[in-house]
Amino acid sequence: MKSLQAQHHVLADPRHQLEVLDELTSGHIPSFHDKLKQTGQWPLLADRVEILQINVGKMCNQTCKHCHVDAGPDRREIMSLETMQSCVDVVKKFRIPTVDITGGAPEMNPHFRWLVETLSPMGVHLMVRCNLTIILANKKYHDLPEFYRKHRMEVIASLPFYTSDRTDRQRGTGIFAQSIEALKMLNEVGYGHPDTGLQLHLVYNPAGAFLPPPQEQLRQEYQQVLWEQYGIRFNQLYVITNMPISRYLDYLLQTGNFERYMEQLVQAFNPLAVKGLMCRNTISVDWQGYLYDCDFNQMLGIPVIPEASRHISRFDIQTLEHRQIAVRPHCYGCTAGAGSSCGGQIV
């Protein structure tokens, strides 16, 4: 499978994605900001910057059907060392406690290890969004578990389901088996073991046009199956709702599920989830250093509202900490049911 960009697909352009989403909310679906107004939660304001989520590029060894980044082996956009240095400077200057490194497969950025090795001695809590198969993709990545361990990185690993059928349908043939191998390698260096403190979290997201089930129930099932069948341990399971963006949006449109999925998200709107939205304590930075409220807004090209602080080189914590968040129809994905964030369920 190729990325939308390589296919010269109309949805490769984020403006077109926004048109599709906005068209729906000009009809029978209420706009997200109206929904917030109805529940007295407008305008949506950030309240702190605790996490800098750095998207180091769109390059990936996989081409998952639901990818909101439109990542893949054919993508070449990666963050330069110079931009990374600016990110490090910001983390240092404003003492941002947590850095969440994502992609693509972030490990494919040739400066990934530099970034980790620079931030780690500063006492920053480091998270990496790992797709698991990257560990096996090439000999040069085989030592990644050891590298993560050395820097006590929190590993957040995608495993869409505990069976191969649903995982492979979403992420590609053979991905489940490789993911299991990679999880074993992580366990071998101490990840997921209660005594080591090395955190390994798994991420579930639905393989199709439906919402995730409750996190706790699914965690127990994952735990039982992965332990009994493969001897694998992990810490927490995060259930994440698929966002109607990029390749998942294409899937919804292709299969005629788009309107119904959006209606489902709107019907499941949970006002209690608004308080815990990840955009309220996170800033997301793209491979070129531009700033966004979250990785989803980043992919849709919706910048942070304060114009003066739209680049990492002009990072102004005062403005950003109390900024108004730019919301659009895809935000319903974060407030459906128990809510969804990079850290799983919100309520």
Partner 1 sequence: MSQTSHYYNAQDLARFGQIGEFQPTLAEKFFAYYGEVFQDGALTAKEKALIALAVAHAVQCPYCIDAYTTESYSKGWSEAQMMEAVHVAAAIRGGASLVHGVQMMNRVKDIAM
Query: Is residue 208 a contact point for partner 1 (CB under 8 A)?
Result: yes
Nearest CA to 100 out of 285, 314, 325 is that of 285
Which residue of 163, 196, 255, 288 would you call a contact of partner 1, by CB under 8 A? 163
Indicate the residue among 258 and 315 with the shorter CB distance to partner 1: 258
Indicate the residue among 126 and 327 with the shorter CB distance to ligand SF4: 327
Reported in sequence order, the residue ranges of 73-191 that DSSP labels E, i.e. its strands, are 98-102, 125-130, 154-158
How large is the greatest C-alpha to C-alpha distance in the chain, in angstroms? Answer: 54
The residues near 85 (Cβ < 8 Å, ≥ 6 apart) are none
Query: Is residue 71 a contact point for ligand SF4 (CB under 6 A)?
Result: yes
Segment contacting partner 1 by CB under 8 A, of 37-45, 137-145, 202-210, 242-250 = 202-210
Token pair belonging to 192: 């997921």
Indicate the residue among 69 and 127 with the shorter CB distance to ligand SF4: 69
Closest distance between partner 1 and the C-beta of residue 270, in Å?
Answer: 15
- Asked if 125 contacts 98 with a C-beta cutoff of 8 angstroms, the reply is yes
Q: How far is CA 10 from CA 66, 105, 243, 328, in A?
A: 17, 24, 18, 20
Distance CA 227, CA 8 (A): 43
The interface partner of residue 144, options being partner 1, ligand SF4, none and the CB cut-off 5 to 8 Å by kind, is none
Angle in degrees, CA 153, 157, 161, rounded to 5: 160
Closest distance between partner 1 and the C-beta of residue 77, in Å?
Answer: 33
What residue type is assigned to position 339 of the chain? Answer: G
Query: Is residue 55 a contact point for ligand SF4 (CB under 6 A)?
Result: no
Query: Is residue 69 a contact point for ligand SF4 (CB under 6 A)?
Result: yes
Using alpha carbons only, how large is the chain's radius of gyration in Å?
A: 19
Query: Is residue 229 a contact point for partner 1 (CB under 8 A)?
Result: no
Residues in contact with ligand SF4 by CB under 6 A are: 60, 62-64, 67, 69, 71-72, 103-105, 131, 277-279, 293-294, 296-297, 325, 327, 330-331, 334
Positions that interact with partner 1 (CB under 8 A): 161, 163, 165, 206, 208, 210-214, 217-218, 221, 263, 267
